[in-house]
Amino acid sequence: MKIFLDTAETDVVRKHFKTGLIDGLTTNPTLIRKSGRKHEDVYQEFKDIGLTDISMEVIGNAENMISEGKRLHKKFGKVATIKVPCTRDGLLACRELANNNIKVNVTLIFSVAQALLASKAGAAYVSPFVGRVDDNSFGGLCLVKDIADVYTKHILTTQVLAASLRNVRDAAKAFQYGANIVTMPPKVFEGMYNHILTDAGLKQFDIDYAESIAE
């Protein structure tokens, strides 16, 4: 059971990494663009923070993705997981990179069929986009469950990395539905600590503790 953060904000990641609860990191071109920084500067900073699994997205045709994936792997070493889209070119790149012992995260997964092809192409991870499935009136968590079930049934080693999570409930449920890894925005991770009854219980314990030592 692994928790990844889905962000390119290095300061926020630095803070959360110190908790010892973060196992890895995913980025995408949109998140990197929002950070206003260069891709490789962001990856380098994550590596320096101590992250050991960083998804780095590549684009273009199969040839571009393969050469870029190999280059990033050479530059960043084992911490680099190359992220490719679930397209024909993406899966060709996945096969070639996997044959070279490079971990691949196949992203933009919206069906069990895509997850099966990605696994056959040697993906270490598949990333079903829970929130975006929900946005289109299908069940994002059901997709996670269906993929996890079929992988279990056929003893496939590809791990289900649930992505595009927008709230704490779905993040926790994704594990319940069989995800091996859940990547989430830092805000969702922060929300995982919270429960209104914990706050209420603690408030009373604090009062009673203070009273008991005053008595």
Catalytic residues: 83
Given candidates 13, 84, 123, 163, which one binds ligand G3P under the rule CB under 6 A? 163
The one-letter amino acid at 7: T
Contact 185/8 with Cβ under 8 angstroms? no
Rounded Cα distance, 54 and 43, in Å: 7
Of the two residues 33 and 203, which places its CB atom closer to ligand G3P in the complex? 33
- Mapping DSSP to helix (H, G, I), strand (E, B) and coil, where does residue 2 land? strand
Footprint (CB under 6 A) of ligand G3P, residues 13-32:
26, 28
Record the tokens describing residue 185, joined without a space: 């925005």
Rule CB under 6 A: say whether 6 interacts with ligand G3P.
yes
Record the tokens describing residue 162, joined without a space: 């649930």
Rounded Cα distance, 109 and 161, in Å: 10
- Considering only the stretches 127-135, 140-148, 192-200, 203-211, report the one whose residues sit in contact with ligand G3P under the rule CB under 6 A: 127-135
In angstroms, how far is CA 178 from the centroid of its own chain? 14
To the nearest whole angstrom, how small is the minimum distance from the Cβ of residue 163 to ligand G3P? 4
- Mapping DSSP to helix (H, G, I), strand (E, B) and coil, where does residue 159 land? strand
Instruction: Tell me the per-residue interface mask from 41 to 80 with ligand G3P, x by CB under 6 A, - otherwise.
Output: ----------------------------------------
Of the two residues 62 and 163, which places its CB atom closer to ligand G3P in the complex? 163
In angstroms, how far is CA 2 from the centroid of its own chain? 9
Rounded Cα distance, 23 and 139, in Å: 26
Contact 84/93 with Cβ under 8 angstroms? yes
- Considering only the stretches 39-47, 97-105, 112-120, 125-133, report the one whose residues sit in contact with ligand G3P under the rule CB under 6 A: 125-133
Position of tokens 């056929």? 154
The one-letter amino acid at 126: V
Rule CB under 6 A: say whether 132 interacts with ligand G3P.
yes
Of the two residues 175 and 202, which places its CB atom closer to ligand G3P in the complex? 175
Residues in the interface with ligand G3P (CB under 6 A) total 9
- Considering only the stretches 71-79, 112-120, 124-132, 191-199, report the one whose residues sit in contact with ligand G3P under the rule CB under 6 A: 124-132
In angstroms, how far is CA 106 from the centroid of its own chain? 11
Of the two residues 128 and 152, which places its CB atom closer to ligand G3P in the complex? 128
Given candidates 45, 131, 134, 190, which one binds ligand G3P under the rule CB under 6 A? 131
Q: Which residues bind ligand G3P (CB under 6 A)?
A: 6, 26, 28, 129, 131-132, 163-164, 183
